[in-house]
A and B are shown apart, each in its own frame.
Chain A
Amino acid sequence: MNDLAEAVRIVLATDVLIAILASAVYGLVVGSLPGLSATMATALLVPVTFWLSPIAAIATIITASAMAIFSGDIPGALLRIPGTPASAAYTDEAYAMTRKGQAELALGAGLWFSAIGGIVGTLSLMLMAPLLAEMALSFSSYEYFWLALLGLMCATLVARSSPIKAIASMLLGLLIACIGMENPAGTPRFTFGVTDLLGGIEPIPALVGVFAVSEVMRAMASAEPPKLPPRRFGSILANQWLLTKRYQWQMWRGNIVGIIIGVLPGAGADMAAWVSYAMSKKFSRTPELFGTGHPEGLVEAGASNNASLASGWVPSLLFGIPGDTITAIAIGVLYMKGLNPGPTLFTERASSMYALYIIFILANIIMIPLGIVMIRLASVVLRAPRSAVMPVILLLCAVGAFAIGNNPFSVLMVGVFGVLGFVMERQGFPVAALVLGIVMGNMVEQNFVTSLIKSDGDVWPFFERPVSSVLAAFTIGALLWPLGVWIWNRLKSTTGEIVR
């Protein structure tokens, strides 16, 4: 109890509170700029943390990354420019809501359920960190392989087109993921001697291209839609309360899935958002509404996304294993400030640990008022004429892509993927499935190949290890399910004919 009181005293210090507020505003602004990711927002903060006290330094990282991840949804919903692979899962849904005139509702849902997900994720971190960490450490490459395969299977679920076109898109994504030398053999593939292709295709330029640039191209090729009648949108929070009551079950499911997936290093928020969106559609009473601007999937995926961010800190704090690029940066800052990750952080430095928990919760709470201001400001974009907005989007796409590595090649990639996305959507191929293939491709291959190297080419360990066998049964069951349904229907109809 003394530790808790001490933690409250630490957090309420003036410098910590100023650090939280300033980094919250900073995170919101950087995250909302298309193409500037939460990782970049965090990395740019590191030199500033040199001059801060340990807790203030960590507070800036925690707050800025949480804010940047939420505000990354803003360009996704308003302009169809997703900031992260995670938000790509529901970009189309949010953008469809914007076109129906419900931008504030979509963004409000992102804000509200992100905050709830963040708080629930933090509670899981507080109550179950050792248990969750045990789980994370029981995952070897065999288990990751099945998990990545399950993630890939979401491709057919999230798409609104025919399953065959979704699978074709996903396979194209897998082919793109083959490019470069970041594969288990370390051998360049499909690089055609181009140095810039050695590192492979980065997901962010591909995302920005297929979603945003293709949207600009479509706008150029079609007439301007009639203006939505200007209307005053009601209270953002009141509407969210209605959504919370209506989709309470989905919200909790999203939170739990997010916590479980988020705790696995390397799987993280991306997979959590995709799996939750797919689950939401699979178990929905109205799956046909998904993709038309229906908030149900947004609720579940948004909650899952942020819950996974919080639980992703578990392996980072306990074992120094980063869950994603943001926690990798945070681990560096923790060491620099003498708060070395490890079990001793939870026992000997308990007051610092509690202080971190309080900051997590504080950050998620102030996200709500600051986020509402941000949404109101950002939705001005919707009232601007299309001919003024589209060139700016194109410019932002180019600047954002360049900012990732100061490499003009990324800008070229944005253009290439823009054309690809435009052509694919014209022909009814879902671009979200392509993105899923690009994001998951490396994970599937890496874990499959390293597993086979470890087992000397034997496939039996994929089914032998306890967790692995459960995941294998899940995956194979999900694969064979449609076939089973088809045979069942055939049997039923043939027996029906005999009776008649």
Chain B
Amino acid sequence: MIERRTLLAATTALAAPAMAQPRWPARPVTLLCPWAAGGGTDAVIRIIGQLLERELGQPFNVVNRTGGSGVVGHAALASAAPDGYTLGMITAEICMLHWQGLTELTFRNFTPLGLMNNDPPGVLVNGASPHRTVNALADAIKASRPGQLKASGTGQGGIWHLALAGWLDAMGLRADHVRWVPSNGAAPAMQDLAANGLDFTTNSLPEGRAIIDAGRARALAVMGPERLGAFPQVPTLKEAMGLDYSTGAWRGIAGPLNLPVEIATAMGAALKKVYDGEEYKAFLNSRGFGLTYADGAGFGRHLVAADASLGAAMRGAGLAR
């Protein structure tokens, strides 16, 4: 027993100076994903994990901590030991859930390391819709009675719902002028759009890509700062309507609060290399995911802005409490 303890003490003593040096990562790193395996967030974090492994020489294992509409996984990351061996992805929901009073957790509980992806919402109508441009649709919306037109794309209070609320607000209308029809994600909404059950949807364009190709739906606009590579013919709101409104479902890598500066720096540099590499860009383009990057500090500023604007949209739509 004594021998083992001395041995232990000896190894710790040996390891201590090694730990003090920026030798991170010395063992495999866990990447927490707050959403289920097989989804969009899962796909993005898995490719990042693989490329990080090549960059930093240690496995980056993706672990899906699901449940509680994303709260469970975000909370697990926020409460992990800040030793650099548990990192993960945070998504737009972290700037939404606390406004609804569903958690105490906000973006301030994390150390932002890099913004890696942003999917802007679109404006989609049925392929046989009389509205050929987003301006025509906007005119129809302005001429309609409140609640007459119906739109969908995700559940009540989800990111695409807030995109609609923000767009209506930017047009000078009430945030609930168009009635939101909650759905279990973009796929059922796209199907209902094709089945003539809705007037338009505001999910991202890649989520409706095949239906657009089949001529059953038409993309009128994208609510992002610039056009998407996969949809070069679809104008932004600014180009089409002169409205300076853009939002999106973004994803970024973060760690718990108080992450040592040297680890944050090393990870930030590795994420930049991953983002600049051909493979990451090719993967995101192939899936139609939007490319956006900001370093740790930039991601931090993005979080402050997103938290404020999403909060405003939620109050406008009567979703905040």
Q: Which A residues form the contact surface with B (CB < 8 A)?
A: 39-40, 42-44, 46-47, 50, 136-142, 180-182, 184-188, 195-199, 265-266, 315, 318-322, 325, 328-329, 331-332, 335-338, 340-344, 404-407, 409-410, 442, 446, 449-450, 453-454, 456
Contact call B69/A181, Cβ cutoff below 8 A? yes
- Measured CB to CB, the nearest residue on chain A to B184 is A446
Least CB distance from A164 to B in Å reads 32
Contact call B50/A50, Cβ cutoff below 8 A? yes
Central interface residue in B47, B152, B198, B214, by most chain A CB within 10 Å: B214
Docked pose: A141 CA to B158 CA in angstroms: 19
Docked pose: A266 CA to B190 CA in angstroms: 13
Tell me, yes or no, whether B238 is within 8 Å of chain A by CB.
no
Least CB distance from A60 to B in Å reads 14
Contact call A318/B187, Cβ cutoff below 8 A? no
Contact call B43/A332, Cβ cutoff below 8 A? yes
With A137-B191, A137-B216 known to touch, is A453 a contact of B65 (CB < 8 Å)?
A: no
List 22 interface pairs A-B (beta carbons < 8 Å), by A numbering.
A44-B37, A46-B43, A138-B195, A140-B196, A141-B192, A182-B155, A184-B156, A185-B182, A186-B155, A188-B102, A195-B71, A266-B184, A319-B214, A320-B210, A342-B213, A344-B213, A405-B67, A405-B72, A407-B66, A442-B184, A446-B184, A454-B198
Query: Which size class do B's interface residues fall under?
Result: 35 or more
Contact call A318/B210, Cβ cutoff below 8 A? yes
Contact call A341/B210, Cβ cutoff below 8 A? yes
With A39-B38, A195-B68, A407-B72 known to touch, is A322 a contact of B187 (CB < 8 Å)?
A: yes
Our pick among B64, B65, B183, B209 for the contact of A450 (Cβ within 8 Å) is: B183
Contact call B69/A197, Cβ cutoff below 8 A? no
Our pick among A40, A142, A338, A342 for the contact of B210 (Cβ within 8 Å) is: A342
Our pick among B187, B197, B211, B283 for the contact of A454 (Cβ within 8 Å) is: B197
Q: Which residues of B contact A409 (CB under 8 A)?
A: 67, 72
Docked pose: A455 CA to B67 CA in angstroms: 32
Docked pose: A318 CA to B214 CA in angstroms: 8
- Measured CB to CB, the nearest residue on chain B to A186 is B156
Q: Which residues of B contact A43 (CB under 8 A)?
A: 37-38, 42
Docked pose: A342 CA to B194 CA in angstroms: 14
Docked pose: A340 CA to B43 CA in angstroms: 17
Least CB distance from A11 to B in Å reads 23
Contact call B64/A406, Cβ cutoff below 8 A? yes
Contact call B179/A196, Cβ cutoff below 8 A? no
Residues 58-85 of B contacting A (Cβ, < 8 Å)? 63-69, 71-72, 75
Least CB distance from B313 to A in Å reads 14
Contact call A450/B102, Cβ cutoff below 8 A? no
- Measured CB to CB, the nearest residue on chain A to B212 is A342
Tell me, yes or no, whether B150 is within 8 Å of chain A by CB.
yes
Docked pose: A315 CA to B40 CA in angstroms: 19
Q: Which residues of B contact A343 (CB under 8 A)?
A: 213-214
Tell me, yes or no, whether B46 is within 8 Å of chain A by CB.
yes
Beyond A196-B68, A266-B184, 8 extra complex contacts between A and B, CB < 8 Å: A47-B46, A50-B50, A185-B156, A265-B191, A319-B194, A335-B209, A450-B182, A456-B147
With A39-B37, A265-B187 known to touch, is A198 a contact of B216 (CB < 8 Å)?
A: no
Least CB distance from B295 to A in Å reads 26
Contact call B197/A141, Cβ cutoff below 8 A? yes
Contact call B213/A140, Cβ cutoff below 8 A? no
- Measured CB to CB, the nearest residue on chain B to A43 is B37
Docked pose: A338 CA to B39 CA in angstroms: 18
Q: Which residues of A contact B100 (CB under 8 A)?
A: 186
Central interface residue in B37, B75, B210, B213, by most chain A CB within 10 Å: B210
With A332-B287, A343-B213 known to touch, is A195 a contact of B156 (CB < 8 Å)?
A: no
Contact call B156/A320, Cβ cutoff below 8 A? no
Least CB distance from A467 to B in Å reads 10
Q: Which residues of A contact B184 (CB under 8 A)?
A: 182, 266, 442, 446
Contact call B37/A139, Cβ cutoff below 8 A? no
Contact call A320/B286, Cβ cutoff below 8 A? no
Q: Which residues of A contact B102 (CB under 8 A)?
A: 181, 188, 198
